[in-house]
């Protein structure tokens, strides 16, 4: 019988595996301090028929609610995020000898994929009783939090590196958030956000500090697989900073396999970083399970300027378990490929989208992506976000 009720969820530490009830306002694992993942104990019982229910519901990421962290009767805080197009890149695909597709996340309410994660995290936290929020951000997450906090009627404070493009700060303030520009990197912003949270009692929505941003991000992969009629692509190439989208994609593939919607989840996941800040690539190339912090991080792709990712183990495990990899590209190559996306395909691409195309080209040249494969690229934001 179809399960109409939301089947409930638990938390499992992504590092030590400890399982726990999803206590209100959960953050890191209380045993080892690792990031936690949401688990749906009844996922296998949903069965492939759930896809018909997803298809019949009103559009947006919340139609996947059986595998989202909502309790029965809860209404999501939503601005209509999700259901972005998976666009074929015909000319670029022909050039590379691939079936090339781009998930265009710039169409989200504040112009980036961060909307999905923040919608999920803020929804859960508000239902759990949080009334004030704080976040460190490279820019897009801050703008997303600002908008969703406005939607929920709760205050938000955002710590951004001071060299974040001015337009981002303007957007955050426009939505009513309090913005602090920090002379430092995202890691310095993280320390200030944590200090603010412990002083004021605000809930800290830092990447992977709480388990629910991944759940929102994973809906990108659910939509991709639905658009491909549940035939997994050969490869996914993803611009990796904190890694929530990559981990979310890995998790979505596992959940769809457990449901029975995909039978052969042999999608290889590739993480893309900038040459000036590539801790995951360095760890991958030297066979490490964790990534050492990157010194003097610099790249024009400010979403990728994350010198130390809390989810490093999980990112590295995702690319290892899927037989994928990690690759760094220069800022020049990113910029050239961003223009190519704009001028050859009409995509309103951000530089991280260009980074992914540059990486796909390099992976194809190296023979890691092979002729005729189906390859999904992510454009994680839009041009106006600069």
Ligand X SMILES: Cc1ncc(COP(=O)(O)O)c(C=O)c1O
Residue numbers of the site for ligand X (CB under 6 A)? 112, 138, 140-141, 207, 239-245, 303-304, 350, 352, 380-381
**Alpha carbons 144 and 113: distance in angstroms, whole number:** 9
Q: Which residues lie across from 134 on neighbouring strands?
A: 157, 204
Please say which residue, 50 or 277, places its beta carbon nearer to ligand X.
Answer: 277
- What is the enclosing helix (H) or strand (E) of 249? helix 244-259
Asked if residues 353 and 317 have their Cβ atoms less than 8 Å apart, the reply is no
Please say which residue, 29 or 304, places its beta carbon nearer to ligand X.
Answer: 304
Please say which residue, 261 or 301, places its beta carbon nearer to ligand X.
Answer: 301
What tokens were used for 155?
């205050």
Please say which residue, 50 or 284, places its beta carbon nearer to ligand X.
Answer: 284
DSSP-assigned letters across all residues of 12-45: EETTT--EEE--TT--S-TTT-PPEEEE-TTHHH
Please say which residue, 78 or 380, places its beta carbon nearer to ligand X.
Answer: 380
> Closest Cα partner for 115 from 384, 308, 380?
380
Q: Which residues lie across from 326 on neighbouring strands?
A: 271
Q: Work out how close the CB of 129 gets to ligand X at its nearest, in angstroms, rounded to a whole number.
A: 26
Q: Work out how close the CB of 257 gets to ligand X at its nearest, in angstroms, rounded to a whole number.
A: 22
Q: Work out how close the CB of 323 gets to ligand X at its nearest, in angstroms, rounded to a whole number.
A: 20
**Residue 134, φ and ψ in degrees, nearest 5:** -140, 150
Please say which residue, 10 or 317, places its beta carbon nearer to ligand X.
Answer: 317
Please say which residue, 123 or 380, places its beta carbon nearer to ligand X.
Answer: 380
For ligand X, the nearest residue by Cβ is 303
Q: Work out how close the CB of 216 gets to ligand X at its nearest, in angstroms, rounded to a whole number.
A: 11
Give the Cβ contact number of residue 296 at 10 Å: 8
Asked if residues 334 and 300 have their Cβ atoms less than 8 Å apart, the reply is yes
DSSP-assigned letters across all residues of 165-213: -HHHHHHHHHTT-EEEEESS-HHHHHHHHHHHHHHH--EE--TTTSSSH
Q: Work out how close the CB of 277 gets to ligand X at its nearest, in angstroms, rounded to a whole number.
A: 11
Q: Work out how close the CB of 271 gets to ligand X at its nearest, in angstroms, rounded to a whole number.
A: 8
Please say which residue, 50 or 214, places its beta carbon nearer to ligand X.
Answer: 214
Asked if residues 317 and 236 have their Cβ atoms less than 8 Å apart, the reply is no
Q: Which residue has the tokens 């992506």?
A: 369
Q: Work out how close the CB of 241 gets to ligand X at its nearest, in angstroms, rounded to a whole number.
A: 3
Report the SS3 class of residue 294: coil
**Alpha carbons 259 and 248: distance in angstroms, whole number:** 16
- What is the enclosing helix (H) or strand (E) of 178? strand 178-182
Q: Work out how close the CB of 94 gets to ligand X at its nearest, in angstroms, rounded to a whole number.
A: 26
Please say which residue, 78 or 137, places its beta carbon nearer to ligand X.
Answer: 137
**Alpha carbons 379 and 385: distance in angstroms, whole number:** 12
Q: Which residues lie across from 12 on neighbouring strands?
A: 19, 37
Q: Work out how close the CB of 347 gets to ligand X at its nearest, in angstroms, rounded to a whole number.
A: 13
């Amino acid at each position: 019988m179809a399960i109409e009720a939301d089947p409930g969820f638990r938390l499992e530490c992504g590092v030590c595996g400890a399982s726990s009830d999803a206590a209100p306002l959960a953050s890191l694992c209380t045993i080892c301090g690792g990031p936690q993942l949401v688990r749906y104990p009844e996922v296998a019982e949903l069965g492939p028929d759930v896809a018909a229910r997803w298809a019949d519901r009103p559009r947006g990421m919340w139609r996947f609610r059986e595998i989202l962290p909502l309790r029965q009767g809860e209404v999501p805080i939503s601005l209509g995020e999700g259901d972005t197009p998976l666009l074929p890149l015909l000319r670029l695909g022909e050039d590379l000898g691939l079936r090339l597709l781009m998930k265009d996340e710039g169409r989200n309410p504040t112009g980036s994929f961060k909307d999905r994660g923040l919608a999920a995290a803020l929804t859960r936290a508000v239902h759990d009783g949080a009334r004030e929020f704080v976040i460190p951000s490279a820019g897009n997450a801050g703008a997303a939090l600002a908008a969703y906090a406005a939607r929920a009627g709760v205050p938000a404070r955002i710590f951004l590196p001071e060299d974040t493009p001015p337009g981002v700060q303007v957007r955050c303030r426009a939505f009513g958030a309090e913005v602090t520009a920090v002379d430092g990197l995202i890691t310095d912003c993280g320390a200030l956000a944590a200090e603010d949270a412990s002083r004021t009692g605000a809930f800290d929505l830092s990447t992977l500090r709480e388990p629910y941003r991944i759940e929102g991000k994973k809906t990108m992969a659910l939509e991709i697989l639905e658009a491909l009629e549940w035939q997994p692509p050969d490869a996914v190439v993803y611009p990796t900073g904190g890694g929530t989208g990559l981990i979310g994609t890995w998790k979505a593939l596992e959940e769809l396999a457990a449901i029975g919607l995909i039978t052969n989840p042999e999608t290889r996941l590739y993480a893309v970083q900038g040459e000036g800040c590539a801790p995951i690539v360095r760890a991958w190339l030297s066979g490490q399970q964790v990534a050492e912090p990157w010194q003097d991080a610099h790249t024009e792709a400010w979403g990728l300027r994350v010198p130390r990712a809390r989810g490093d183990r999980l990112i590295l495990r995702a690319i290892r378990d899927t037989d994928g990899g990690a690759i760094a590209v220069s800022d020049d190559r990113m910029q050239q490929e961003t223009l190519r996306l704009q001028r050859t395909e009409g995509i309103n691409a951000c530089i991280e989208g260009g980074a992914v195309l540059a990486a796909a080209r390099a992976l194809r040249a190296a023979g890691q992506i092979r002729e005729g494969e189906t390859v999904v690229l992510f454009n994680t934001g839009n041009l106006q976000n600069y």
